[in-house]
Every structure is written in structure tokens, then in C-alpha cells.
């Protein structure tokens, strides 16, 4: 999702003459030959067409009118929105050498300090350096080493739900922060008032706000980053300074804990230790920064994006009891009643795996992902795409394509099942859920394992039903922004049986594999 393209109408009153001058200065820098698109106005282009909330839903409607590739122009900036898997595959995969760059993000990167994360970095040698190191510690083989951490924290979640089921949304965030902290830093988080959880929540809340389309004018007019804090209208500078302190804590504090342990000889195996032990002697200090950044990127990503999917899963189980019952029947048949499920059971649990896939598909964590930009003029399918155009892949439209997923608004894990096994002919949500092309999220294997461990563990011992005081039909409302979360909702979480309750209180020993 672009961080600087969408400007809500109230903000125009602030820009005034500055906005007009900037628009003229930028000019209409590109020529685009299109068959159909929303009609632009002189100078400002499609500025007033841009949605300030839930843009993925607006774009999805546009695709129905204009087709699956749309061009718009905002103050001279060409924007191309892709609405099908064919378009994103053609552009981001087959032409990845030209479409793997990121747009400039002044608020997030330059003012808030998120330039440490390779997810927001411009394409180039620095990005490749970070991506390579991260991938070596979170590829499928490396991610398998963290399975015991997933199982341990998933079972700790079961205990928290027994004590306070109403706090399940917070418990889920606690679980994922605890899992990533154990895997990346070998740090145990506290049950309450934990520094690492509070830091992650605050820093990521700032990121979510700054990622909202049109949230800050500095993303549209980058030179505003130099405006002093005392200038009227420069309140964003104070916010940015506050969020930058939080970002710095997220990056530095746990990393320094690990370095201190290594110096003392007390460090245990974790991703950060492995990265530091394998740094090249040449340019050690440079690569140490890369290791620190990669660890923080895992910390931020693992503590945030998968939380949304897990919360969505809880809603879906309350909303679709027949899905829950079918999954529990599968777990009872495969796992039995004398232990809890683990990763060894996963190949034998196709319906549970289908729930994981459907959860990722049904409500996308990042419905627009993060925008790409092209690095050279290009021609595609009769369209001219100028250098510097911003390219948006609408994940929502791909995951709600009725041809690939009949009744896309319904939660139907059985769509992925045929003859009792996962159907390989059904589109895997991973083709879009984690981004596109060379910028696809390398932490997707870790995230998948996280969600599986929660789904199988919770369903094995708990029933999730609508809250007793819930009036009317359950309705899921998602937030708008870079990351989309379910808005708070109430469900009832109760042990399935006395045996299940005993497992929650004292989980049987398990390898966690």
C-alpha cells in the first residue's frame, strides 16, 4: 500500500496554496494510454477519487467497471492498480527486475526510523544483503527449528484462555510476541506488563497509523520533513519523534540483551545468535547492523501481522460452528484423547490445514500489501507504464475472486479439500497473502507454523461460540490501514470436556515437533 498517495478531503484545507503550487511543480509527468479508468481532473488528477478508508474495497468495485488493470493519476503521480492474479504474476513475477522497488516513505522510513526493515527498503544491494540474511534464518528448514517454541507458547495460550477468556485478543498478541522473542532472541516474556510486548504494541500502533492512506502530508510533500516542530500544522513531527523512540527500543533493547549474553558465554541458540556467529570477519560491524535489523524485522512482523489472522480465526469458529465441529472431529480421530496435537500430526490433518488457508484468504492481513514502483519505462499488454509509476497489487480482489473461490465472502475451508485431502488445484492463498515477486515475505513459513499451532491447539480443547450476551448475528468489522485487524468482538471460550480442562491445566509432555 502506498503511504503517500491518498489524501482525505479535510487535509486539502491544510495544504491550501502549497498544495496547488506543489501540484503544478510536479506536473503531469507521465502519459498513459488506457482503455478505461476513472476520469481525472486537470492538475489534481484523480486526487478526489482516492478513498480514505478501505481502498481495497473501492478498487475491487472499480475492477468490475474498468477491468483488472486500472491507471489513476494523483498530482502527476501515475498509479497502477492490479486486480487479478494474472496481472500480479505478469508484472511482479515475470518482470520482477523492473518492479521490485519500493516507493519513498518519508514518514515511516525517514522520520519514524522503520528504514531498518527490509520490507520498506528500496530495492538494491542493501535490501539484498538484509533479505539474504533473513531468509537463511527463516526459510522452511530454518523455520522448522522454531516449532518447539510455537507449541510451547500455544499451550501457554490455552492456560491464559482458561483464566480469562474475554481477554483472548490480548492473549493472542502476547502469544505471538512470546513466540518470536523466544525464536529470535531466546528471551522469555513476562505474563503481564512485559516491556517487549508493550514496546511492540506501541511501535506497531504507530506504524499502523502512519500506514493509513493520506494520514500525513509529509508523504505527499516530502520537503515538509524539514519543517520545525513549532510551525503550526507540524504536529506530525512530534508524533514521528515519539514513534522513532519506540522503534529504536524495538530494534536495540533485545539485540543488546543477546550480545551481552554472548559476551558472558550464557547465550543459548536462537536466530540472533546464529546470525552473529556466522558474520564474515571482513566488515563485521556492517554485517552486525544487518543482523540487528533482521532480528528486529522478525520481532516486528511476528508480533503483528499474524495476530490479525488468529483473531479472525476465533471469529470464524464462533460464526461457523459446523466448521469448528468438523475440525474437532478430525483432531479427535487423528490425535485421540490422551495428548495434544503437534506438528507431527499436521500431514494427517487436511481440514485443520484448510482452516489455516481459509483464514489467510478470508480476511487479508494486508489487503493491498506494500506498493511497488517500476524502475524503467515499460510496455505491458498495450499499456505504457512510465518509470516511477506506483504499482499496487490488490490482494483482496485476488483472494475474493469468485472464479477461484466460489462464494468468496463465506468462510469455507472445504473449498481446499477434495477426496479427503488438500486439493492442489485450488489456488493457494500464499500466491498473494504475503506479497508478490521478489518482495514476497520471507517470514511466511514462520507465520504459517504460528497459525497452525494456534488453530490445532485451541480446537483440540476449546469450544468457541458467540457470547451469551451477543445480540443478533455476529458481524466481523475490520480496520482500515496498512494492516487490517478485526475490531473487538465477544465470544465465549469454554473447555470441551473435563479431560480437555485437565490438558489445559497440565499439558502432556510432547516433543513439539
Confidence of residue 296 (pLDDT cuts 50, 70, 90): very high
Cα separation, 24 vs 448, in Å, equals 47
- Predicted pLDDT at 511: 53
Nearest to 399 by CA among 309, 298, 513, 307: 309
Long-range contacts of 421-427 (CB under 8 A, 24+ apart): 421/350, 422/350, 422/353, 422/354, 427/85, 427/401
In the chain, where the domains are located? 48-461+476-505
- Predicted pLDDT at 373: 95
How remote is the C-alpha of 197 from its chain's centroid? 17
Cα separation, 74 vs 49, in Å, equals 9
Is 282 strand, coil or helix? coil
Helix H or strand E encompassing 175: helix 168-185
Which residues, including other chains, have CB under 8 Å from residue 217's CB and lie 6 or more apart? 7, 11, 14, 15, 224, 236
Mean of pLDDT values over 375-399: 96
**Tens-place pLDDT, residues 126-161:** 999 999 999 999 999 999 999 999 999 999 999 999
- Predicted pLDDT at 471: 58
Handedness of CA 501, 462, 445, 184 (dihedral sign): negative
DSSP structural state of residue 436: -
In the predicted structure, residue 3 carries a pLDDT above the cut 50? no
Share of the chain above pLDDT 70, in %: 90
Superfamily for domain range 48-461+476-505: Cytochrome P450 (1.10.630.10)
- Predicted pLDDT at 419: 96
In the predicted structure, residue 1 carries a pLDDT above the cut 50? no
Cα separation, 376 vs 374, in Å, equals 6
Which residues, including other chains, have CB under 8 Å from residue 21's CB and lie 6 or more apart? none
Mean of pLDDT values over 116-126: 95
Mean of pLDDT values over 401-414: 98
Cα separation, 293 vs 82, in Å, equals 31
- Predicted pLDDT at 472: 62
Is 281 strand, coil or helix? coil
* 293 neighbors 449 (Cβ within 8 angstroms): no
Annotated binding residues for heme: 441
Cα separation, 317 vs 355, in Å, equals 10
* 411 neighbors 320 (Cβ within 8 angstroms): yes
Confidence of residue 52 (pLDDT cuts 50, 70, 90): confident
Mean of pLDDT values over 242-263: 96
DSSP structural state of residue 73: E
Q: Where are the beta strands (DSSP E) in 99-233?
A: 101-102
- Predicted pLDDT at 498: 92
Handedness of CA 463, 467, 473, 479 (dihedral sign): negative
**Tens-place pLDDT, residues 176-209:** 999 999 999 999 999 888 898 899 889 988 888 8
Which residues, including other chains, have CB under 8 Å from residue 33's CB and lie 6 or more apart? 382, 383, 384
CB atoms within 10 A of CB 379: 9
CB atoms within 10 A of CB 233: 11
In the predicted structure, residue 68 carries a pLDDT above the cut 80? yes
Is 480 strand, coil or helix? coil
Average pLDDT, the chain: 89
Exposure letters 468-481 (e unless 16+ CB within 10 A, then b): eeeeeebebebebb
Give pTM, 2 decimals.
Answer: 0.89
Confidence of residue 12 (pLDDT cuts 50, 70, 90): very low
Share of the chain above pLDDT 90, in %: 73
Confidence of residue 337 (pLDDT cuts 50, 70, 90): confident
In the predicted structure, residue 15 carries a pLDDT above the cut 60? no
Confidence of residue 9 (pLDDT cuts 50, 70, 90): very low
- Predicted pLDDT at 369: 86
**Tens-place pLDDT, residues 439-449:** 999 999 999 99
Annotated binding residues: 441
Is 3 strand, coil or helix? coil
* 387 neighbors 376 (Cβ within 8 angstroms): yes
Amino acid at each position: 500500500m502506498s503511504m503517500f498517495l491518498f489524501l482525505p478531503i479535510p487535509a486539502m484545507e491544510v495544504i491550501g496554496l502549497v498544495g496547488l503550487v506543489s501540484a503544478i511543480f510536479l506536473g503531469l509527468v507521465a502519459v498513459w494510454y488506457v482503455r478505461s479508468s476513472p476520469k481525472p481532473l486537470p492538475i489534481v488528477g484523480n486526487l478526489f477519487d482516492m478513498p480514505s478508508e478501505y481502498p481495497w474495497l473501492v478498487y475491487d468495485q472499480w475492477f468490475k467497471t474498468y477491468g483488472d488493470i486500472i491507471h489513476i493519476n494523483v498530482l502527476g503521480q501515475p498509479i497502477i492498480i492490479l486486480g487479478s492474479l494474472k496481472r500480479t504474476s505478469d508484472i511482479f513475477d515475470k518482470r520482477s527486475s523492473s518492479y521490485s522497488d519500493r516507493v519513498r516513505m518519508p514518514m515511516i522510513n525517514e522520520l519514524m526510523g522503520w528504514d531498518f526493515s527490509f520490507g520498506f527498503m528500496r530495492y538494491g544491494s542493501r535490501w539484498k544483503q538484509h533479505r539474504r540474511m533473513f531468509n537463511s534464518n527463516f526459510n522452511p528448514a530454518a523455520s522448522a527449528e522454531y516449532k518447539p517454541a510455537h507449541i510451547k507458547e500455544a499451550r501457554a495460550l490455552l492456560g491464559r484462555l482458561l483464566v480469562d477468556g474475554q481477554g483472548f485478543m490480548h492473549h493472542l498478541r502476547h502469544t505471538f510476541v512470546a513466540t518470536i522473542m523466544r525464536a529470535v532472541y531466546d528471551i522469555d516474556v513476562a505474563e503481564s506488563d512485559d516491556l517487549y510486548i508493550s514496546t511492540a504494541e506501541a511501535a506497531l500502533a504507530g506504524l499502523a497509523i502512519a500506514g493509513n492512506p493520506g494520514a500525513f502530508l509529509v508523504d505527499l510533500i516530502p520537503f515538509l520533513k524539514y519543517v520545525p516542530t513549532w510551525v503550526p500544522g507540524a504536529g506530525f513531527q512530534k508524533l514521528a519523534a515519539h514513534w522513532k523512540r519506540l522503534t529504536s527500543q524495538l530494534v536495540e533493547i533485545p539485540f543488546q540483551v543477546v550480545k551481552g549474553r554472548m559476551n558472558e558465554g550464557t547465550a543459548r541458540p536462537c536466530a540472533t545468535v546464529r546470525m552473529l556467529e556466522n558474520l564474515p570477519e571482513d566488515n563485521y560491524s556492517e554485517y552486525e547492523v544487518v543482523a540487528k535489523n533482521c532480528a528486529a524485522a522478525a520481532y516486528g512482523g511476528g508480533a503483528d501481522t499474524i495476530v490479525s489472522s488468529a483473531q479472525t480465526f476465533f471469529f470464524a469458529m464462533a460464526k461457523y460452528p459446523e466448521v469448528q465441529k468438523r475440525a474437532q472431529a478430525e483432531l479427535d480421530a487423528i490425535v485421540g484423547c490422551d495428548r495434544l496435537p503437534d506438528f507431527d500430526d499436521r500431514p494427517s490433518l487436511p481440514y485443520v490445514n484448510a482452516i489455516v488457508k481459509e483464514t489467510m484468504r478470508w480476511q487479508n492481513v494486508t489487503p493491498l500489501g506494500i506498493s511497488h514502483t517500476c524502475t524503467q519505462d515499460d510496455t505491458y499488454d498495450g499499456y505504457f507504464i512510465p518509470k516511477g509509476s506506483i504499482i499496487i497489487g490488490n490482494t483482496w480482489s485476488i483472494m475474493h475472486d469468485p472464479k477461484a473461490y466460489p462464494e468468496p465472502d463465506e468462510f469455507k475451508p472445504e473449498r481446499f479439500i477434495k477426496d479427503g485431502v488438500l486439493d492442489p488445484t485450488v489456488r493457494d492463498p500464499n500466491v498473494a497473502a504475503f506479497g508478490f515477486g521478489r518482495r514476497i515475505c520471507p517470514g511466511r513459513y514462520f507465520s504459517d507454523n504460528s497459525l497452525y499451532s494456534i488453530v490445532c491447539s485451541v480446537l483440540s480443547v476449546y469450544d468457541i461460540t458467540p457470547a451469551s450476551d451477543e445480540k443478533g448475528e455476529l458481524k466481523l468489522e475490520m480496520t482500515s490501514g496498512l494492516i487490517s485487524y478485526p475490531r473487538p468482538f465477544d465470544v465465549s471460550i469454554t473447555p470441551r470436556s473435563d479431560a480437555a480442562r485437565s490438558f489445559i491445566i497440565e499439558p502432556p509432555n510432547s516433543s513439539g515437533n
